[in-house]
Structures are given as structure tokens and as C-alpha cells.
Amino acid sequence: MSQQINLFNPAFEKQKQALSSVGLLQGLGLVLAASAALVWFGARQVAALERAAADAKVVLDAREARRADVFARFPVRGKDPLIAGALSQAEADRSALQEAGQILQGGELGNTHGYADYFRAFARARVNGLWLTGASIAGAGKEIGLQGRVVQPDLLPQYISALSRESALQGKSFARLDMTTAQLPAAPASAPVSPGAAPVAAVAASAPRFIEFSLQSSAAPASGAGAVKQ
């Protein structure tokens, strides 16, 4: 004989609960309240940012106004052309002085002690019957020119030899020699002749003759600094 046992208990079955209208209204109210709170908080934040931006704009406008006032009272001046030109000239002068100093220190000019030693040498190398009428020295003593007169041609080699013994002229040489015969000017023909005086032709014939010479250290005549003419 069999017996069927029912193990199902309705108490353990999951019950389906339906939301009531009251619960729905309460939930909707909470959602609306939370949304309103978020909107209110966001509005407060936006208002605070707007006030901060307005305050910053006021400060910026005030600073811009002060800046404009300063520029109006103290306008920026342009470059003065006179001052700019003076500065450029001063810079050019300074560069020129520096370059000149470097040249002098490097000894590129050769003789930097002047021309006094040369003229003293010309004066010491004295020969009777010979005299100088002009002298010229160019540059650092590389170009020397002498002009003078001599009563006899053989006195000129003696003078050149005397010059070669001067320390200031050591290593110097002459590459050109020009010589011309000249005569002292005679008295004018219209000058009155005193009684017993020689005729004008005789005076001209008896006028002393001399030789003009020109010594140059180069083939071309030298002319430059230190020139002396008589």
C-alpha cells in the first residue's frame, strides 16, 4: 500500500509584492528633492564664479586705466637720431683707435719714433760745397727723397757715403739720381750800371754755376710726411 506525501509549503514560496501608489509618490518626491538640491547648489556655484569674474574684470579695468594714464603722462619716446649718430661715431672711433693700437703694438708701421733722427742724419752728413734745398720722407721711412745743390759733381758721392754711415739710414739705399746744371740768376738788364762796372753780359758769364741734384730711394720721386722745402 503506498502513500503520497506533499512536501510543498506555501509559506516558503516567494511572494510577489506590487508597489503601491504611495511608495511611488514617495520615491518620486525624493528624486525631485535631490534634483532640486543639485540645481540649487550648481546655481550657487555659478553665481560665485560670476561674481569672481566680475571682480577680476573690475580689477583688470582699473589696471588698464592706470596703464593708459601712465602712457599718456609719460609717452615712450623714439630714438633720437642725433644720439644714435653720436653713438655710432663713438663706436667707429673706438674701433679705429683699437686697430691703430694693435698696429702700433705689432710694429707694422716700422718706424714709430718720428723723423727727427733722419733729419739729424742729413745735417751731420755735411760736405763743404753741398747743401740741401729739400727733403721728404714718406710712410715709415721707406721712401726718402733729397734735393740739393752741389758746386762739384764729385762731392755728391762723398755725401752719399756719409749718409750711409748714419745709424738712422742703415739699410737705406737710393735708386734714382737726377742732376741738372744751373746758374745763379744774373742782374736784370734794366738795372742801372754804375761807372766802371762790368757789362751785364760779363756779370752773367761770371755768375757761379752749380749742379742741382735729386736723390730718391725709389724710381718715382718721393713725397709725403716729413717733407721740408727751402
pLDDT at 60: 92
Confidence of residue 173 (pLDDT cuts 50, 70, 90): confident
Q: Could you tell me which of 146, 176, 178, 151 has the C-alpha nearest to residue 162?
A: 146
Average pLDDT over every residue of 87-96: 85
Q: Is the pLDDT of residue 113 over 70?
A: no
pLDDT at 56: 92
Average pLDDT value for the chain: 75
CA–CA separation, 46 and 2 (whole Å): 81
What is the gyration radius of the CA atoms in the chain, in angstroms? 59
What's the pLDDT tens digit per position in 32-84? 888 888 999 888 899 899 999 999 999 999 999 998 888 888 876 777 788 88
The SS3 of residue 211 is strand
Average pLDDT over every residue of 165-183: 83
The percent of residues above 70 in pLDDT, for the chain, comes to 66
Report how far apart, in Å, the C-alpha atoms of 85 and of each of 81, 82, 154, 184 are: 6, 5, 62, 59
Average pLDDT over every residue of 218-230: 46
Rounded to two decimals, the pTM is 0.41
CA–CA separation, 203 and 193 (whole Å): 11
Compare 220 and 100 and report the one with higher pLDDT: 100
Please give the sequence-ordered ranges of beta strands (E in DSSP) within 82-127, or none if there are none: none
The residues, ordered by sequence, that sit 6+ positions from 227 with a Cβ below 8 Å of its Cβ are 134, 135, 136, 137
pLDDT at 228: 42
Confidence of residue 11 (pLDDT cuts 50, 70, 90): low
pLDDT at 139: 64
All cell numbers assigned to 123: 745735417
The residues, ordered by sequence, that sit 6+ positions from 152 with a Cβ below 8 Å of its Cβ are 129, 211
How distant is the alpha carbon of residue 54 from its chain centre? 56
